[in-house]
A and B are shown apart, each in its own frame.
Chain A
Amino acid sequence: MDAEKRKQKLREMFQRVVDPLGYKFSPDEEIVDFLLEQEVMLEKEHGHPFCPCQGLTGDRELDMKIVCPCIPFHRAHFDAMKRCWCGLYVHKDVEDPYSLVQISRSEFEQMQKEGKV
C-alpha cells in the first residue's frame, strides 16, 4: 500500500476511535498531514504507527501505550492540555490549536496535586 493511501486509511480508522473520546483531528491540516506521514513511516519501520513525539523503549507494555491514538492511556493528562502530546488530536471545541501549550507529565502531576485539574 502506498504511503498516501495508508495515511488516508489511518485517518479513517483513528477518526472512529477519537470521536467518541471527544477529540478531533487538529484544524492545522499541515501538522496533521506531517504527523500522519511520520506515523506511516514509523509503522513501516517498527510495525506500528507510534506517536512521532514520544520515544520507544523496547518494552512492549510501555510502547503499546504510545501507539496512535494513545489518548485512552493518557486521558487525564491530554484532557488537561485539550490536545494529545503530538497535537494530532485536539478537543472538539478547540478552533485554534496554537492557543494550547504542551504540559509535561510532571507539570500535570503537580497540577493534579494542587487540585488545578
Chain B
Amino acid sequence: MMYTLSTCPWCKKSKNFFTERNIPFEFIDYDKASKEEQQKIREVCSAHGESIAFPFVIIGDDVVVGYNPQKYMKLLES
C-alpha cells in the first residue's frame, strides 16, 4: 500500500519503481481522497511517528517514508 500526493514527483517515482518491476501495488492520493480517508491516513502517519509527508510506502509490516529505492529493494527481498 502506498499513500501519495498527485502533486509530488517523489510519489510518482515511487509508483514508477513498483510499476517498472511489475510489482502490483495499491495507492491512495491523499489530496484526492475524501475527508474521512484523509483523516485515516493522517492517523496512520501519526501512529508511525511521522508527519503528513509523502510518499508513505507500506511494505509488509514496514513503512518507508520518502522515495528510497534501496530501502524498497531491501524490504522486497526480505
A residues bordering B, Cβ < 8 Å? 31, 34-35, 38, 41-42, 52-57, 62, 85-87, 101-107, 109
Contacts and interface: CB of A to CB of B under 8 A. Distances in A.
A26 to B, nearest CB: 11
Interface in B46-78: 48-54, 64-68
Chain B contact-residue range equals 20 to 34
Interface of B: 5, 7-11, 30-31, 38, 41-42, 48-54, 64-68
> Which 8 residue pairs across A and B have the least CB separation, nearest first?
A102-B66, A104-B65, A55-B52, A52-B7, A106-B49, A53-B8, A38-B7, A105-B51
Contacts of B9: 31, 34-35, 52-53, 86-87
A10 to B, nearest CB: 14
A102 B10 contact: yes
A54 B49 contact: no
A30 B41 CA distance: 30
Contacts of A87: 9-10
A38 B7 CA distance: 6
Contacts of A101: 66, 68
A102 B54 contact: no
B7 A53 contact: yes
A62 B54 CA distance: 16
Nearest to B38: A55
Contacts of B41: 55
20 contacts: A31-B9, A53-B9, A54-B5, A55-B31, A55-B38, A55-B52, A56-B52, A57-B42, A86-B9, A86-B10, A87-B10, A102-B66, A102-B68, A104-B50, A104-B53, A104-B64, A105-B50, A105-B51, A106-B65, A109-B49
